[in-house]
Amino acid sequence: MANTACHYLYQALFITGFLMYSIASYAQGDSTIQNLQQMPFKYISVINNKVDKYSKQVSSKTQKTLEKLSRWENKIQGLLEKVSPETALKLFGGSQPTFGSILAEIKKGESTLISYQSSYNKYRDDASTMLNYLAEQSKHLDDAFVKKARTTQSKLRQLSKDEDEREALEQFIRERKKELITQSLQHIGRSKYLKKINKEAYYYAETIKNYKEVLSNPKKAEVLVKGILNKIPAFEKFMKKNSILSSLFRMSEDNQLQDIPGLQTRSFVQALIQDRVAAGGADAQQIIQQNISQAKSEMDKIKNKITELGGGSSDMDMPGFKPNSQKAKSFKQRIEVGANFQFGKSTHYFPTTADIGFSIGYKLNDRSITGVGLSYKMGMGNPRQIRISNQGASVRSFIDWKLKKQFFISGGWEMNYLAGLAVNEVVPRQKDRNKWQHSALIGISKKIGIKSKWFKENKLQLLYDFLSSHHVPVSQALQFRIGYTM
Co-location of 208 and 344 in the same domain = no
Is 230 within the bounds of a domain? yes
| 54 and 122 housed in the same domain | yes
pLDDT of residue 354: 87
pLDDT recorded at residue 7: 52
Query: What are 397's strand-pairing partners?
Result: 372, 413
- Give domain status of residue 357, yes or no: yes
Q: Are residues 399 and 456 in the same domain?
A: yes
Q: What is the pLDDT of residue 134?
A: 78
Please indicate, yes or no, whether residues 271 and 185 belong to a single structural domain of this protein: no
Going by pLDDT thresholds of 50, 70 and 90, the confidence category of residue 279 is low
Q: How many domains does the chain have?
A: 3
Whether residue 82 is contained in a domain is answered as yes
For position 313, what pLDDT does the model report?
45
Please say whether the beta carbons of 349 and 420 come within 8 A.
yes
Q: Are residues 199 and 288 in the same domain?
A: no
pTM confidence score: 0.72
Domain of 299?
266-309
E-strand stretches of 219-352: 335-344
pLDDT of residue 466: 92
Could you tell me how many residues make up the chain? 486
Confidence of residue 309 (pLDDT cuts 50, 70, 90): very low
Quick one: pLDDT at residue 232?
77
Please check whether residues 239 and 359 belong to one and the same domain. no
Residues 367, 279 within the same domain: no
pLDDT digits (tens, 9 = 90+) for 207-264: 999 999 998 888 888 888 778 777 777 777 887 777 776 665 555 555 555 555 555 5
Distances (CA, A) of 350 to 10, 68, 425, 468: 95, 58, 12, 15
In a domain, 15, yes or no: no
Q: Looking at the domain assignment, is residue 66 inside a domain?
A: yes
Model pLDDT for residues 72-131, shown as the tens digit of each residue = 999 999 999 999 999 989 998 888 889 999 999 888 887 767 766 677 788 888 888 888
Q: Is the pLDDT reported for residue 399 higher than 60?
A: yes
**For residue 348, is it within any domain?**
yes
Is residue 367 one of the residues assigned to a domain? Answer: yes
**Domain containing 456 — which CATH number?**
2.40.160
Q: Are residues 298 and 352 in the same domain?
A: no
| Whether 385 and 419 share a structural domain | yes
> Is pLDDT above 60 for 304?
no
Same domain assignment for residues 174 and 300: no
pLDDT value of residue 188: 86
Higher pLDDT, 484 or 6: 484
pLDDT, residue 21, reads 44
Both 244 and 276 in one domain: the answer is no
Cβ neighbors of 128 (< 8 A, separation 6 or more) are 153, 156, 157, 160, 244
CA distance 29 to 21: 12
Q: For 458-473, what is the mean pLDDT?
A: 88
Give the DSSP letter string of 47-116: HHHHHHHHHHHHHHHHHHHHHHHHHHHHHHHHHHHHH-HHHHHHHHSTT---HHHHHHHHHHT---SPPP
Pick the last residue of a domain from 215, 249, 283: 249
Between the alpha carbon of residue 291 and those of residues 275, 278, 284, 302, the distances in Å are 18, 17, 11, 17
Do 235 and 127 share a domain, yes or no? yes
Which of 140, 121, 158 lies closest to 235 in space, CA to CA?
140
Encode pLDDT of 428-446 as tens digits: 445 444 578 899 999 999 9
In whole angstroms, give the CA distance from residue 243 to residue 124: 10
Whether 138 shows a pLDDT value over 80: the answer reads no
Cα–Cα distance, 323 to 316 (Å, whole number): 14
Question: Of 249, 274, 292, which residue constitutes the final position of a domain?
Answer: 249
3-state secondary structure of 457: strand
Do the domain assignments include residue 317?
no
What pLDDT, on the 0 to 100 scale, is given for residue 301?
A: 62
User: Does residue 57 carry a pLDDT above 50?
Assistant: yes
Mean pLDDT of 278-290: 66
The DSSP call for residue 419 is G
Distance between CA atoms of 222 and 236, rounded to whole angstroms? 16
In this prediction, what percent of the chain has a pLDDT beyond 90? 28
